Amino acid sequence: LRKNFYIFATAVFFILKTTTVFAQAPSTDEDAFFIKNIYSYSLTQGNAYTWLRDLCARAPGRVSGSAEAAAAVEFTRQIMDTLGLDTVYLQPCMVPHWVRGAKEQCKVVGSPTQGDMPLNVLALGNSVATPEGGLTAPIIMVMSLEEVEKLGEKVRGKIVFFNRPMDGTQVSTFSAYGGAVDQRVKGPAVAAKYGAIAVIVRSVSSTKDDFPHTGVTVYDDKTPKIPAVAVSTNDADKLTLLLKAEKEVRLFIKTNCKTLAPVQSYNVIGEIRGKKQPQEIILVGGHLDAWDVGKGAHDDGAGCVHSMQVLHTLHNLGYKPNRTLRCVLFMNEENGLAGGTEYARLSNLRNEYHLAAIESDAGGFTPRGFQTEAESSVFIDKMKKITRWSPLLEAYDLTISKGGSGADISPLKSQLGLLIGFRPDSQRYFDIHHTAEDTIDKVNPRELHLGAAAITSLLFLIDKYGL
């Protein structure tokens, strides 16, 4: 029975705190009141959870080029059309069209102790298929790309098993992910350089279970494309034990992926035009595509509905922005970044200026704050300005810190605005990331709506005061 949790803002998260003490804060009681309204509206009248539930049901597994991706484009376009925005449109972009094909098979074959032992795997995104009959070879376990480089020709004809886990001692799971994902992204290309015939990679996961985690791999143009799968963390542990116990472990792998001709797809865009400085754009976005095996609830349906909710909340609270507020649902973040690249290309062609761009692509969990980045020539100044509002945001347990923003908005950095990544709690995200388990039941409605409220509040302050 604990009551009366009043939050006192006693602490600042980050290094530039002295600037918070001395810089003039333009924020007022009126702003605090409006932010309170943003939270109340988002929590009790927000549509984000309903939209997300429907998006997951009607456009599950919406990988770029798929029918589901087309459904996601049309579904979100129709929602945006109801939000009372000034304009809603589709921005064409050509996207890769990779298909998984029939379900992968993978097993240990002919183990003296285990016989044939099936393993839970998923082909990596963009990966090629095995020969039609599959392939069989001994595996060789490595813990890093560097180890493959050292082994060199010893991997020839083998299946390379990348087995370095995420570092469980890291508090930030994104840091731990960043420290392990090179095996998945670059492993097949590096192994192919020395004649490996396939790759099996330990799922980049923060938990131990039977679900394999897919994700993109990037081949090297100079080396052959070899088949690559992710194996569940439990099965990776089983393989590890087997390799200790037996002289040689042979795997059978059969994957059926194909890369078809590129497809025309779209970024979905809606905007409210600014009344005073319409030429200054504040973008809020997420990505519409999701891996084929799950429903894309946290990655990144959450970011899409966050972004739509931001504009909807401000519109319904009667807010008339100074700047142009633009919601962008990017296509193809997962395996190509075609949407983000095309958006930036056209924006630069039109000489647009993004004063700020906020991406939500870290899930729909309880908000912790925001991370910022910018060209070094403007970063310190922008950071001073945005941290003027820290006291207002700390009342909602939100901090502002330096860090990565988002893949889709990263090409906008050259416009010299501030790039911002929404930072929700990260502890559960990599349990389900890129798996069949990324489903709506993993999303808590209050947490999702708090995320929308946090982003809306920051966007409101940027719009009102500039950066």
Least Cβ distance, residue 36 to its own copies (angstroms): 5
Q: Could you identify the residue written with the tokens 């804060």?
A: 25
Least Cβ distance, residue 19 to its own copies (angstroms): 10
Check residue 6 for interaction with its own copies (CB under 8 A): yes
Q: Whose Cβ is closer to its own copies: residue 216's or residue 440's?
A: 216
Q: Residues 6 or more apart from 68 whose CB is under 8 A from it?
A: 59, 60, 61, 62, 292
Distance of CA 454 to the CA centre of its chain: 18
Of residues 238-257, which lie at the interface with its own copies (CB under 8 A)?
none
Of residues 439-458, which lie at the interface with its own copies (CB under 8 A)?
444-447, 450
Least Cβ distance, residue 399 to its own copies (angstroms): 4
Sign of CA dihedral 80, 85, 89, 95: negative
Q: Residues 6 or more apart from 23 whose CB is under 8 A from it?
A: 384, 387, 388
Instruction: Count CB atoms within 10 A of the CB of residue 146.
Output: 11
3-state helix, strand, coil in the chain (%, to 5): 40, 25, 40
CA distance linking residue 354 with residue 296, whole number of Å: 28
Q: Whose Cβ is closer to its own copies: residue 65's or residue 451's?
A: 451
**Helix/strand/coil for 358:** strand
Binding mask 402-441 for its own copies (x = CB under 8 A): xxxxxx-------------x-x-xxxx--x----------
Least Cβ distance, residue 147 to its own copies (angstroms): 21
Of residues 285-344, which lie at the interface with its own copies (CB under 8 A)?
333-334
Check residue 24 for interaction with its own copies (CB under 8 A): no
Least Cβ distance, residue 12 to its own copies (angstroms): 5
CA distance linking residue 183 with residue 443, whole number of Å: 29
CA distance linking residue 423 with residue 398, whole number of Å: 9
Least Cβ distance, residue 57 to its own copies (angstroms): 19
| DSSP codes of every residue in 17-49 | HHHHHHSPP---HHHHHHHHHHHHHHHHH--HH
Binding mask 360-399 for its own copies (x = CB under 8 A): -xx---x-xx-x---------------x--xx-xxxxx-x
Binding residue for its own copies (CB under 8 A) from 113, 131, 133, 171? Answer: 171
Least Cβ distance, residue 142 to its own copies (angstroms): 21
Q: Give me 209's structure tokens.
A: 């279970």
- Across-strand partners of 252? 107, 136
Least Cβ distance, residue 306 to its own copies (angstroms): 15
Least Cβ distance, residue 391 to its own copies (angstroms): 6
Q: Whose Cβ is closer to its own copies: residue 4's or residue 113's?
A: 4
Check residue 207 for interaction with its own copies (CB under 8 A): yes
Q: Whose Cβ is closer to its own copies: residue 113's or residue 169's?
A: 169
Q: Could you identify the residue written with the tokens 């007022």?
A: 28
Q: Could you identify the residue written with the tokens 């376009």?
A: 77
Least Cβ distance, residue 5 to its own copies (angstroms): 4
Least Cβ distance, residue 293 to its own copies (angstroms): 17
Q: Whose Cβ is closer to its own copies: residue 21's or residue 349's?
A: 21
Binding residue for its own copies (CB under 8 A) from 74, 137, 174, 466? Answer: 174
Check residue 168 for interaction with its own copies (CB under 8 A): yes
Q: Whose Cβ is closer to its own copies: residue 224's or residue 391's?
A: 391
DSSP 435: S
**H or E element, residue 451:** helix 445-465
Q: Whose Cβ is closer to its own copies: residue 225's or residue 428's?
A: 428
Of residues 114-133, which lie at the interface with its own copies (CB under 8 A)?
none
CA distance linking residue 36 with residue 132, whole number of Å: 60
Phi, psi of 71 (to 5 degrees): -65, -40
Q: What is the CA radius of gyration of the chain?
A: 23
Where would I find the beta strands (DSSP E) of 226-322?
Answer: 228-231, 250-254, 258-272, 277-287
Q: Whose Cβ is closer to its own copies: residue 66's or residue 390's?
A: 390
Q: Whose Cβ is closer to its own copies: residue 88's or residue 228's?
A: 228
Of residues 84-103, which lie at the interface with its own copies (CB under 8 A)?
none
